[in-house]
Amino acid sequence: MLESTARSTEHREPAITRRHVTAKPIDAHEPWMRGLHADTGYLLYRLGLRSGQLFNACLQESGLRLRHYAVLRYLATTDGALQRELSTRLGYDPSAIVGLVDDLEKLGFAERRPSPDDRRSRIVVLTESGSDFLRDTDEAGLRVTGELLGPLDPAEREALHALLLRIAEDGLN
C-alpha cells in the first residue's frame, strides 16, 4: 500500500506540508470539476485520450489509425528511416512497427527498401501517394485540432502549443 508514501526527498520543494493545494485562481465553473481536474497531469491524460479519439475518428475513413499517421509524418521529415529508428523515435515496439509498415505498404503509402550497407535493415521510405495522403489529411488534422481547441483564441492556442512543446522536449521520446 501507499501508506509509506515513498517519502523520497525530492530535490525540489522544502517539504513543507503544502499538499492541500494552495489558492487556486482557476475558475472551475462546476464544483466537481475542481476536484477532478485539479491536477494538471490528470487533465493531460484525459485530454490526450480525447484528442486521440478525435484523430482516430478522423482517420478512420482512410483505414488508418493514429499510429500509422505518426509513422507517415516521421517518414515525411526524414525521407527514409530504418524500422529500428521508427521504433525508438516513436516509442512503439519493434513488433508494432512491422504491422504498421505492412499496412502502409499495402496502401501504397510507404515502401521497404533494402539497405545497401546492411542487409538486416530495411529502409522505409514515403511514396508519392503517401506524401499526397499526408497533405490531404493535414487539413483534416487541423480541423480536428481546431475542434478540440474550440474555446481558445489563436494567441492562446499558440501559447498552449509552446508550453506543451516545452514539456515534450524534456522527457518524451
Partner DNA sequence: AACAACTATTGACGTCAACAATTATTGCTC
Partner DNA sequence: GAGCAATAATTGTTGACGTCAATAGTTGTT
Nearest distance, CB of residue 97 and a second copy, angstroms: 13
Interaction between residue 45 and a second copy (CB under 8 A): yes
In this structure, what C-alpha cell is assigned to residue 80? 527514409
Contact 83, 122 (CB under 8 A): yes
In this structure, what C-alpha cell is assigned to residue 129? 501517394
Contact 74, 86 (CB under 8 A): yes
Nearest distance, CB of residue 122 and DNA, angstroms: 4
What's the Cα-to-Cα distance from 154 to each of 104, 141, 158, 160, 166, rounded to whole Å? 34, 16, 6, 10, 18
Contact 126, 109 (CB under 8 A): yes
Contact flags string 5-44 toward a second copy, x per CB under 8 A: xx---x-xx-----xxxx--xxxxx-xxxxxxx-xxxxxx
User: What residue 159 binds from a second copy, DNA, none (CB within 5 to 8 A, per partner kind)?
Assistant: a second copy
Interaction between residue 137 and DNA (CB under 7 A): no
- CB nearer DNA, residue 52 or residue 156: 52
- CB nearer DNA, residue 53 or residue 129: 53
Residue 4 DSSP code: G
Residues that bind DNA (CB under 7 A): 1, 4, 6-9, 12-13, 15, 17-19, 21, 49, 53, 56, 65-67, 82-84, 87, 92-98, 101-102, 112, 117-122
